[in-house]
A and B are shown apart, each in its own frame.
Chain A
Amino acid sequence: DTAVSQTPKYLVTQMGNDKSIKCEQNLGHDTMYWYKQDSKKFLKIMFSYNNKELIINETVPNRFSPKSPDKAHLNLHINSLELGDSAVYFCASSQGPGNAGANVLTFGAGSRLTVL
Chain B
Amino acid sequence: RKEVEQDPGPFNVPEGATVAFNCTYSNSASQSFFWYRQDCRKEPKLLMSVYSSGNEDGRFTAQLNRASQYISLLIRDSKLSDSATYLCVVTPGGSGGSNYKLTFGKGTLLTVNP
Contact = CB atoms under 8 A, between A and B. Distances in A.
Name the interface size band of chain A: 20 to 34
Interface string A85-116: 00000100010010000111101111000000
B101 A105 contact: no
Given A43-B44, A56-B100, A103 B107 contact: no
B106 A40 contact: yes
Contacts of B45: 107
A75 interface: no
B34 A103 contact: yes
A57 B27 CA distance: 20
Contacts of B43: 90, 107-110
A45 interface: yes
A107 B42 CA distance: 10
Interface residues of B, number: 22
B107 to A, nearest CB: 6
B101 A48 contact: yes
A74 B42 CA distance: 20
A48 B97 contact: yes
A96 B114 CA distance: 42
Contacts of A56: 97-98, 100-101
Interface in A17-63: 31, 40-45, 48, 50, 55-56, 58
For B49, B101, B103, the residue with the greatest tally of chain A CB atoms inside 10 Å of its CB is: B101
Interface string B63-95: 000000000000000000000010100010000
Given A45-B102, A103-B32, A97 B44 contact: no
Interface of A: 31, 40-45, 48, 50, 55-56, 58, 90, 94, 97, 102-105, 107-110
Interface of B: 32, 34, 42-46, 49, 85, 87, 91, 96-104, 106-107
9 contacts: A43-B44, A97-B96, A97-B99, A97-B100, A103-B34, A104-B34, A107-B45, A108-B43, A109-B42
Given A97-B100, A105-B46, A109-B43, 10 more contacts: A42-B106, A43-B104, A48-B97, A48-B100, A56-B97, A56-B98, A58-B101, A90-B44, A97-B96, A104-B49
